Structure 1
């Protein structure tokens, strides 16, 4: 058999930049299948060792099973929502994307909209092409020495800040998942809350991920906190802005103008702000639509496919744990625990930034390559708080980009438990520590310390925590309110402030309660408002 017939086969299922296809052809036999019928796609899928797609092709578990020779799936873009990653992982197929392909393009489009909004460029263009000379009608505002507020300071937010500073703008940003040092490196003022951004910004651009917590982030309450005459830019996600609240703010004059590239549903041609709003600039989701971004996505994805099939390092894989099998056997059961501890720690941290993560591993796990556990903690901390999906491969680089230092300590012994994990979030002078372990043959995760108090509680999906003065009757008060609200307690544990001779009555105590359903924030607030309560928090794990 000749070398030529031994070449691996790649299917490019959707339109890809020629530069990416040419790069693949240097190594493999490449077929283009953008115009294939579903029947042809199904019948020929077993021929290929790798496949490149964009967003239109849905690689479900069924299609992945048909690809009996598949070793790698390349997604030429940021997300991988159209790929069944767990199904691919089970079959040993690498899934890689191009997470940085459009960040420059998105930042540049944000600035393009901001400048168009400031100088009424689209409106003036339309007027002149309609054969009207209305020079006095389209006077704008300078951006020089104006304040740009950036809500969400990840990759794109930081690139926008750099470009805005080039125009002489002052930049203030809010993102509690970025280290304080990162703001200083970029010459950007760090805001402790989004309200601190609103009260000083002349322009506001939002770059948050869409989660239940961030949907409608710019709502009526947010607009009310802003300066009169503020201008809004959204090139991130349509769901981040409350449409009705923005319309009201524009109608009242509170918001002087808005520039939108994204909308709650797309494609869309019928939108309340498309008609009759001369101070609104809109584009049809062009944030990633440049030749360079498309070219970059194709080349980056091709490079990852080549690396996967030639023994190279797949730097953007979303499903490869780089750890030895013997370490995985010991550490694997602790991955869910570490993710939960990371999520719990960040939900309790009250600082305005995450400057450092201190991770401590004791016992048998402390003798192993614990990078996998560190990454699991990072996933718990960052998931839902960044523009991109967080996975085992990209979590460390995302933390680094956000200026979050990760410090890992290992020790082969543990005083009270076979294995122990401590996670501490440091924000300035503030420290928030949680401690946990696995118990029993089924490796049940147990919470051992929170808010400085020790106890032992098997973790479930829904957790409520209360800190209070250690006086009689507090447990009963929590139970009574839960009962009134129809909330069923699964288990509970209490930790008391230790003294020289053991727990000291009259100090602070912490109660941890698991329930069979989420505890509404209003219930926590009602309990904490009672006498002797210090704090309360509900966390869904």
Structure 2
């Protein structure tokens, strides 16, 4: 059987070497398609693949149509909105992600962004400290838990909203559960977003919700740009000169936001939450191990298109 690693932005060499070792020791063939610029190269490479690992590469209906033998595709990372789940399901292809492998990298970035905004983008002038501030974690999953853990070291007061996590679980970890998303936003000086982009969450972070934030509030988005209502965000930033927004997913309206709001807004040029050597390696190796486990035993533990 053939396992294809298709990455227009390749894994680190250590990750690729590890993936090869896992694959070949299991008795499978490994094929690499790296730095491709033409999607037709992907169509050709996947034509005879039984399994595929991708990073942010889009697995569209056309890719699925070209993948005549594909049984499983694994997105090396937590988010999987680059996978056409309906197309995979229709063809009987198992789609997986690798939850938790990038979590520490994203959590560290979120806290780093808070420090960056609190200290005036590291420009001269009087900033503020994170100690004693209230941090709201919107979605208490793998990343959210690590954000809470790190933030405690800064002396922050931690709140969280996640209807899928029992309040006693949060309480045992020193986090105060709130009853509604509105309560979270009206309570906290900093909000760290960790929700996925779904039909229910897209543009859910809107004018009305953000307007509830206390004076000097800062929204930190290391999740997905689609969850932000950019028009509502821009309107509020214009009305409330005390609010700030920082993200590692450049908004569609980046140029306008940067011109209008200066140091109150910052975006990295590219998504960088998982851009650490450790996360790169962890996610790649996890993807390879999950594929081998599926092909050998039918293990579908991390399937996302059930």
State the TM-score, normalized to the length of structure 2. Answer: 0.81
Q: 1:182 to 1:10 in 2, by over 3 A?
A: same
Q: 1:214 to 1:178 in 2, by over 3 A?
A: same
Does the aligned pair in 2 maintain the 1:237–1:263 contact within 8 Å?
no
Please show how residues 27-106 of structure 1 align to structure 2 within 5 Å. Answer: 27=24, 28-34=28-34, 42-43=43-44, 45-60=46-61, 63-64=63-64, 66-85=66-85, 88-89=88-89, 92-106=92-106
Does the aligned pair in 2 maintain the 1:19–1:299 contact within 8 Å?
no
Find the residue that maps to 1:278 and give its secondary structure: helix
| Structure 2 equivalent of residue 290 of structure 1 | 276
User: How far did residue 75 of structure 1 move?
Assistant: 2.5
Does the aligned pair in 2 maintain the 1:94–1:308 contact within 8 Å?
no
> Residues 315-349 of structure 1, C-alpha deviation per residue, up to 9 Å, x if partnerless?
32335xxxxxxxxxxxxxxxxxxxxxxxxxxxxxx
Q: CA RMSD of the aligned region, Å?
A: 3.0
Does the aligned pair in 2 maintain the 1:239–1:263 contact within 8 Å?
no
| Structure 2 equivalent of residue 114 of structure 1 | 114
- Which structure carries more strand by proportion? 1
| Structure 1 equivalent of residue 289 of structure 2 | 303
Is the radius of gyration larger for structure 1 or structure 2?
1
| Structure 1 equivalent of residue 265 of structure 2 | 280
Answering whether residue 220 of structure 2 is matched by residue 236 of structure 1, we say no
Find the residue that maps to 1:106 and give its secondary structure: helix
What CA distance in whole angstroms lies between the structure 2 residues aligned with 1:98 and 1:67? 21
| Structure 1 equivalent of residue 11 of structure 2 | 16
Does the aligned pair in 2 maintain the 1:249–1:255 contact within 8 Å?
no
Please show how residues 438-477 of structure 1 align to structure 2 within 5 Å. Answer: none
* More RCO (CA 8 Å, sep 6+): 2
What CA distance in whole angstroms lies between the structure 2 residues aligned with 1:220 and 1:41? 40
> Residues 244-290 of structure 1, C-alpha deviation per residue, up to 9 Å, x if partnerless?
4444444444534332223443xx65232345522333223222222
Q: 1:255 to 1:195 in 2, by over 3 A?
A: farther
Answering whether residue 150 of structure 2 is matched by residue 157 of structure 1, we say no
Q: 1:74 to 1:182 in 2, by over 3 A?
A: same
Find the residue that maps to 2:158 and give its secondary structure: strand
| Structure 2 equivalent of residue 178 of structure 1 | 165
Find the residue that maps to 2:191 and give its secondary structure: strand
| Structure 2 equivalent of residue 498 of structure 1 | none
Find the residue that maps to 1:172 and give its secondary structure: strand
Does the aligned pair in 1 maintain the 2:237–2:261 contact within 8 Å?
no
- Unmatched tracts of structure 1, length 5 or more: 1-7, 125-136, 320-391, 393-541
